[in-house]
Copies of this chain bind each other. A is one copy, B any other.
């Protein structure tokens, strides 16, 4: 039986981020991460499938988004359900006390193509989680897809803003403001096109 280690995932994440900042992502090994956290390599792999995954904390945000969509009031429109989910992410995921950590994490990810690739794939998982939960509410497929894309784009832009914004560290505030801006942008985009008949 493995010994129970308190806060093992949190210690591993903190150790990994520190080492990536000091030595770079490439030059850091899983063994070094485990050692700095006072844990073993096998404990590392109990929580994370590989070195990249240590910065992507499982499926937490996708789960919060899906829960948030499904917990929105029955009369909520698709985008109101998305707004509800974003507020849940701010309250339970991207909390103010994690902002500095998130900002450091973002800087490390930006320096490494492998990490950027993993982040991109995680982003697609968030879109899929939103779309799936919206469809579960009985919203038609294409409408769910569009609302999910707007929600995922809002999350991405809001996360960037949250990491660098000096005026506010409240993720929910930033996300709702961003969703409003993207709603306005989307209204402009869809209003200003005359669909052609396909001849060109």
Contact = CB atoms under 8 A, between A and B. Distances in A.
Interface in A90-126: 91, 117, 120-121, 123-124
A188 interface: yes
Given A120-B124, A121-B120, A149-B149, A79 B198 contact: no
Interface string A188-200: 1111111111101
- Give the interface centre of A79, A186, A188, A189 by most chain B CB atoms within 10 Å: A189
A155 interface: no
Q: How large is the interface on A (under 10, 10 to 19, 20 to 34, 35 or more residues)?
A: 35 or more
Interface stretch (A3-11, A24-32, A49-57, A139-147): A139-147
A102 to B, nearest CB: 19
A181 B121 contact: no
Contact of A183 (B77, B83, B157, B195): B195
Nearest first, the 8 A-B pairs at minimum CB distance are A79-B193, A77-B192, A176-B198, A87-B200, A142-B185, A180-B195, A187-B190, A149-B149
A150 interface: yes
A55 to B, nearest CB: 18
B183 A190 contact: yes
Given A146-B186, A185-B146, A193 B124 contact: no
